[in-house]
Amino acid sequence: MANPELAIIPQHVAIIMDGNGRWANKRGLPRTVGHSKGVEAVRETVRAAGAVGVKYLTLFAFSSENWGRPEAEVNDLLGLLRRFIRRDLAELHRENIRIRVIGERENLRGDILPLLVEAEETTRFNTALTLVIAFNYGARDEIARAVAKLARDVEAGRLKASDIDADRISQSLDTAGIPDPDLIIRTSGEERLSNFLLWQAAYSELVFLPDYWPDFDRNLFYDALRVFASRDRRFGGLSNKAAAAVVG
Ligand code: FPP
């Protein structure tokens, strides 16, 4: 995109970073190299998002289903996330970037949760971009935990069942306080949401790119923003043009 600043900039972009393994396979390299290159793409994407005024960037870093991968690969992914927080936290903080983490926290062992919490705490008053890291995240699990919490509130008499509406459900999810994504990008040619932000994606624009995640860069990001800007978002209503015709 030559002039991203001229387009409509989405407030919240969420990304399913897919294709690290295939990127590596194509080059005869171990999958771990694909994941490492993927972290470089993460760095560039955070910078590119901040540069054009995106306010929220959510990255699907590790799904609740990813634990089913071979142990070595799980350890590799956890190691990369750990290193990313350790090495980049100071710089993210300097750049006024706030970190939020979504996903199930209860059963996490080891040092990863304390590190993620430290990143959230350190950056909690920052006001530029909010970088939302989806870790041990699955949308159905998130919704189930929210429903269970609301059921407990009803059981304890803190809430009436008739007070449960869409807003209250939104505020009970891990993403409470974060606007729904305007744009969801998935790389690698797969065209599905794979249990990512299912509730929040109700009106998101979806952009599927053929490129593998390690090849994702500023240019591809801005191309996706350009596609977003060309879409006619109606939220179940009429387009601006159709509405003008009705009014006459
Ligand atoms: C999908 O590629 C990618 C992942 C499962 C994880 C994404 C993680 C990173 C980019 C690194 C850590 C993240 C941060 C925020 C520092 P895949 O392995 O499923 O690729 P494939 O479908 O081609 O096998």
Choose which residue among 15, 16, 20, 84 to substitute to test ligand 1 binding: the one with the highest number of ligand atoms within 8 A of its C-beta: 20
pLDDT digits (tens, 9 = 90+) for 186-209: 999 999 999 999 999 999 999 999
Using an 8 Å Cβ cutoff, are 80 and 35 in contact?
Answer: yes
Q: Is 18 a catalytic residue?
A: yes
Using an 8 Å Cβ cutoff, are 77 and 135 in contact?
Answer: no
pLDDT digits (tens, 9 = 90+) for 57-110: 999 999 999 999 999 999 999 999 999 999 999 999 999 999 999 999 998 888
Structure tokens at 134: 């989806």
Instruction: Give the pLDDT confidence score for residue 42 in this predicted structure.
Output: 98
- Quote the CA–CA distance of 85 and 62 in Å, as a whole number: 14
Backbone angles phi, psi at 51, to 5 degrees: -65, -30
Q: How far is CA 214 from the centre of its chain?
A: 17
The mean pLDDT of the chain is: 94
Burial string for 142-180 (b: 16+ CB within 10 Å, else e) reads: bbebbeeebeebeeeeebeeeebeeeeebebbbbeebeb
Does the beta carbon of 214 lie inside 6 Å of ligand 1? no
CA dist 178 → 79, 100, 184 (Å): 27, 10, 15
User: Could you tell me the distance, in angstroms and rounded to a whole number, from the CA of residue 247 to the centre of ligand 1?
Assistant: 49
- Quote the CA–CA distance of 60 and 103 in Å, as a whole number: 10
pLDDT digits (tens, 9 = 90+) for 28-39: 999 999 999 999
User: Which of these, 172, 105, 120, 116, lies nearest to 143 by C-alpha position?
Assistant: 172
Full-model pTM? 0.94
Instruction: Give the pLDDT confidence score for residue 244 in this predicted structure.
Output: 53
Does the beta carbon of 16 lie inside 6 Å of ligand 1? no
Whether pLDDT at 248 is above 50: no
pLDDT digits (tens, 9 = 90+) for 210-226: 999 999 999 999 999 99
Does the beta carbon of 132 lie inside 6 Å of ligand 1? no
CA dist 95 → 128, 208, 234 (Å): 8, 29, 34
Comparing 6 with 119, the larger pLDDT belongs to 119
Structure tokens at 67: 């634990």
- State which fold the 12-137+181-235 domain adopts: Undecaprenyl pyrophosphate synthetase (3.40.1180)
Instruction: Give the pLDDT confidence score for residue 246 in this predicted structure.
Output: 56
Q: Is 165 a catalytic residue?
A: no
- Quote the CA–CA distance of 90 and 74 in Å, as a whole number: 25
pLDDT digits (tens, 9 = 90+) for 117-144: 999 999 999 999 999 999 999 999 999 9
Query: Which residues sit opposite 63 in a β-bridge?
Result: 137
Using an 8 Å Cβ cutoff, are 64 and 141 in contact?
Answer: yes
Helical segments of the chain, H only = 20-26, 31-52, 71-94, 112-122, 139-155, 166-172, 218-230, 240-247
- Quote the CA–CA distance of 149 and 125 in Å, as a whole number: 27
Structure tokens at 32: 């771990």
